[in-house]
Amino acid sequence: VPAAVAPGEGPYTTRACGKGRRDTLLGGITTAKTTKLTLHPKFTIGEISPRLYGAFLEPIGTMVNGSMYNPKHPTADSQGFRQDFIAALREAGLPALRLPGGNFVSGWEWKDSIGPKEQRKAHLDLAWHQYIPNDVGHDEYLQWAEKIGTQPMYTINLGTGTLLDAIHIAEYTNHPGGTYWSDLRRQYGREQPYGVKTWYLGNEMDGPWQIASWEKDPKGYGVLANETSKAMKWVDGSIETAVCGSSSPFMGHFPQWDLEVLQECYNAVDYVSLHHYHTAAPGNYFQLLGGAAYIEDYIETEAALCDFVQAKMRSPRKLMLSFDEYGAMMRPLQGIEHPGWGPYNLYHSHYRFDPNAAYVRHDPDNMVDNRRREVGDMVPALGSASILLAFLRHADRVKIGCMTSGLGALCATDREHVWRTASYYPFHQLMEYGRGQSLQVAVEGDTFDLPAYAVNDTSQYPAKEGLPYVDAAAAYDEKAGALTLFAINRDPAGDTQIQLDVSAFEGYRFVEHLELCAPDMDARNTWEAPDTIAPAVGQSAKEEQGVVTATLKPLSWNVLRFEK
């Protein structure tokens, strides 16, 4: 199966393993896979938060200056926002959006981005080596979120920013009036408060790449987060805050850094912010879709750490998790080139002092053509969906999820057009059908082993054994009378036959099997051919006495729906 393995690895072989068969990437030929899945209404995990299906926005490249804001575009409104982009996102129903960054915010002076545009101050963005003209400022970000009908979740500057800046931004944004900052908002044309509910206390504050990083002083950051959260909640007692945990499970100080932070602010905050970008070798779909297992390891470690601190603090409060930056990608693996040099390479990769590097001024006229991607549409579609399934399996603790590429997944753009990539369909179907309670899915069937691999000296994934070919999660909305199974066939080589037992759901009938797969893994949707990859109704599914049998195609996304 050449397309499914990394360079130097042969196809996989089969050996017996418990109730199923386990395949290893060693050599040989496999036969058709089978999997039995069982659902029961009593085996719930937790309430699914709508904000699990959120997105993330940061002014990198032309996402803001081009896709979001382009006063030259034929559809631009009076504020310069592209109405074609707004309409597409509004139709998609995005529930929540974390903004305005990202690494960007650790050097952003929000007070220079308000008021008349001709009086605003332009700055250098040290994080991404670009000019920030502040054409899109604090008010515009929040007003644009209103236009697309989503809940904004705001990240404040706790890098170069101060406690007083945080108090002022909360006052400007949420206080009704009668103070300098709230009246200034009204003077600038916004009479009513924005009512931002969720505030992130900085971004990736343990990263050496961060401006004014707190990497070497977790206790100091924990104290600052405690005081900032406390003060902002004194401005507006209805808000909730998220403190930064380690920005990757690969950080050498994880989870000790998180422990030292949480011990200082546990009773003042509501969420811990987590980030991770999973990487696989080009063409290795086992590594790509096995990434959900590593995401779950990260979630479970952080949840256990929070519970340890809860017990240590004798606190009745249980912290939830906000996985507010994530993605899955394929890129060449460097491997371990310098054993033991991991800590140095982490710094070296971010401490780049290039005297010839020029700052970039992004403009809609130099937008990148998004149709020239290195991979087909199904790679990001399946990669992101697999992570969302991991979130569903931990819906009791993960209450916010922000797909880094979420806006582009819901609406791809170029200079003139908008269209839907394949990523739109799993993301939107999860928004539509992934409601109510998350259910445990009992999975019995064929599995594969994933050998350990290294992206580089600092990012190394351990081996995993017994990963099921069918990656699944389920949602049960009892009030609406809806039951849905979401499943990915992670096998690139062939179909997987499933038996789905829902006989415990009395009175429910099978409605449809929706499937998404590509004619080939290099295929992609474009403005000219927007339906190259689109969902279809599976024809193989049959129900008999509460058991549905169906065929899941290779590297496919599947939704099996039931109604009462």
Peptide bond into 255 cis (omega under 30): yes
- Could you please report the per-residue DSSP string of 37-96? EE--TT-EEEEPPGGGGEEE----TTTTBTTTB-TTSTTB-TTSBBHHHHHHHHHHT--E
Assign 216 to helix, strand or coil: coil
Show the tokens assigned to 476. Answer: 């049960």
In terms of DSSP bridges, do strands 54-56 and 398-403 run parallel, antiparallel, or are they unpaired? parallel
What gap in Å lies between CA 224 and CA 239, rounded to an integer? Answer: 17
Assign 527 to helix, strand or coil: coil
With both helix axes pointing from N to C terminus, report the angle between 180-187 and 163-174 in degrees, rounded to the nearest 10: 50
In terms of DSSP bridges, do strands 20-24 and 447-450 run parallel, antiparallel, or are they unpaired? parallel
What gap in Å lies between CA 315 and CA 311, rounded to an integer? Answer: 6
First to last CA, the chain: 42
Show the tokens assigned to 43. Answer: 């085996």
Q: Which residues are catalytic?
A: 204, 325
Per-residue burial over 90-128, b = 16 or more CB atoms within 10 Å of its CB, e = otherwise: eebebbbbbbbbbbbbbbbebbbbbbeeeebeebebebb
Residues with Cβ within 8 Å of residue 155, at least 6 apart in sequence: 98, 99, 100, 101, 102, 105, 199, 200, 202, 203
Other Cβ atoms closer than 10 A to 189: 10
Residues with Cβ within 8 Å of residue 393, at least 6 apart in sequence: 45, 296, 438, 441, 473
